[in-house]
Structure 1
């Protein structure tokens, strides 16, 4: 069951999409919503104890409680393996 904060996040995301479309910004994608602590630990290690760029600043993310999402802008070909998605 969704709590009030989750409902607000969802509504704000709808507003963001609407305003972006109105401004002519297209190709907006949600790349990650819920994230387990294990996944957060894995991302936190990136750029610190394993190779790659740092992509998060915390071990205590709002993703765990479904109060955050990652958003990307760009053609899907540059974000995902489109062949694998099909």
Structure 2
């Protein structure tokens, strides 16, 4: 059995898996927003810090991207945690 990975709160992380091609919503147009959305789609719930470190994006850019994705009802934020809706 493969041991579960843990998030920054030391809780088991449940990564999403997909079978088949991944399609992006048409409203996601910028390359960085596409990257963030795909990362969240594959990884599941992560913190903003994890997202920034993994994608090498500054927090200021992430907050703007996440705001845009949230306004399109594509992501949901719960405190510092972010996930695809």
TM interval, short-chain normalised: under 0.3
> Larger Rg: 1 or 2?
1
* TM, length-normalised to structure 1: 0.28
**Looking at both structures, which has the greater relative contact order when contacts are Cα pairs under 8 Å and sequence separation is at least 6?**
1
Comparing both structures, which one devotes a greater share of its residues to helix?
Answer: 1
